[in-house]
Chain A
Amino acid sequence: MKRYLSLYWTLIKLNWKALREFPADSVTSIFSGLIWGVFMIVSLQLLFWQIPSVAGWTREGVVVLGAVYSVVVGLFRAILSRNMDDMAKVIHMGELDVVLSKPIDTQFLLSTRLINISGLVRVVVATIFIVWFLPHIGIHPTVIDLLLFGALCLLSLLFLYGLYMSITALLVWYSHTNNLVDIAESLLGTSRYPQGILQRAPFIIASIFVPFFLIINVPSKALLHRMTEADVVSLALVSVGTFLFSRFFWRYALRFYTGAGG
């Protein structure tokens, strides 16, 4: 464990140096992240222009949804997303051989070597916005509330990691379809909507979307003091289950990997 933590710290330092080498890239990344964060909130407000509430969520509540989306997805984009994109290329180009020969867990190395440090700016700004906004709607979060929120965001991140890892493992068999991760991206984009809208949806469709709605709605409900035990248990089960499945599936996929001329 100590070895992996030390390795991760080294990777952070390397990525920090890369960030300083290309400052314009970092500025672009920060700008892009902040614009998307603002868009999430603006888009929800536009949808609620004609209607006062949907599925028990008011205009103010969906502002919190949009901001929490920026925190969770911002964290994902900063820490994991680039690695998932890169994995598709690594598998397709046969470069996985080099990674497999290293004396470290392959899944760990592939998942953590690229860190978009500038993407954390979006997370920080969104968090500050949440802390500023909540008192305006009569909610005063305590330290316990914020710690619980942080823990739930980490669970959400665990789910996203497990999902993307599982989809990436499929690329071992379907390497030419290297845009498979885009399916998860399209589903992730829907998670900023209130979960209650799924109550009227057909069961098959709702069951596909439920985990994605959970990862944003449950942390938001925690901040708005509307969370139930069932919410936490659902999120925990989905997140841990997906992560454990991804671990198993990745190891299973590696048995079928054939890198030619790597």
Chain B
Amino acid sequence: MHKIGRFYHVFLTYLKDALEYRSKALVYFMYPLVSTTVMLIFWYAASSTHATGGYNFSFFLSYYLWMMLAGSALMCYAEDAIARYGIYRGDLSAQLLRPFSWMTHVLFAEVPWRVMGGVYSVLIMVGVSIFLFPIQHNTTVVGWTLAIIAAALGFTISFLYKFILGSSAFWLTNTRGLTSLSDIIIMLFAGQLMPIRLMPPLFRSIALSLPFSSMVYIPVAALQGTLGTIELLRAIGIQLLWLCLLIPLQQFIWRRGLRVYTGVGQ
């Protein structure tokens, strides 16, 4: 109980810090908002003149709005803070002495920003739904429950992956190339560019066999209601499988990284 209270107060501290910079969070939210807007304009133009894989504009509108929410609320961006401030700048040295793990610190620092991004996304979605077009969504209690589970798992997978990515700074003097490559792969294979089901068969197979689709695409499909219960359970199974792979991998990389870490002048 005492431990939960301690974590609660630590989390509150990071939440207050994030709320202090809510305009900064709004600027970060511009990225998914702008890309969503352009993709909707593109598909509106495309669907007006051609058949678009059997889907109408209403599908694309719902897909990209849910993807905007997932990208803001579920996709973590902690790798830069881990690499630049934790490892390169040496903030990790002080954190290692604290009575809670560095991973907990990073998680608590990340969650408030995801919450704020999620709030901005929900506001946009409510506005669109009321004033413009209805948004497709899951309609059953079971569907919503499974969608929330898929979203929670998606966030966890995203966090673990980005933590591993940031930890590469233990061995690399510059992680920019690696994070750039990761960003591109995620954009392609997490369904952020376009729905995975509309991709060429080869890309589709690659996307569904990598963990990136588990981060945002599966939660989006679940929230949009395009997956049946059995399909959803199978997708959650795949997410759990990725968790079982990523957790020990993160532990292994973390322990190895600490052995080579040297914090100078902290």
Contacts and interface: CB of A to CB of B under 8 A. Distances in A.
Interface residues of B, number: 38
B126 interface: no
Contacts of B188: 39, 42-43, 46
A32 B182 CA distance: 10
B142 to A, nearest CB: 32
Contact of A183 (B30, B41, B44, B173): B30
Interface stretch (B97-105, B196-204, B214-222, B237-245): B196-204
Contact-residue size bin, chain A (C-beta under 8 Å from the other chain): 35 or more
B206 to A, nearest CB: 12
A196 B41 CA distance: 10
Contacts of B23: 174, 176-177
A43 B34 contact: no
B48 interface: yes
Interface string B35-69: 10110011011101111110000000000000000
A10 interface: no
A39 B184 contact: yes
A209 B27 contact: no
B247 interface: no
B41 A177 contact: no
Given A36-B180, A50-B50, A54-B49, 10 more contacts: A32-B177, A46-B188, A50-B53, A54-B42, A179-B24, A180-B27, A186-B31, A200-B45, A200-B48, A209-B41
Interface of A: 24-25, 27-29, 31-32, 35-36, 39, 42-43, 46-47, 49-55, 174, 176-180, 182-183, 185-187, 189-190, 193, 196-201, 205, 209
A190 B173 contact: no
Given A24-B173, A177-B24, A179-B28, A36 B184 contact: yes
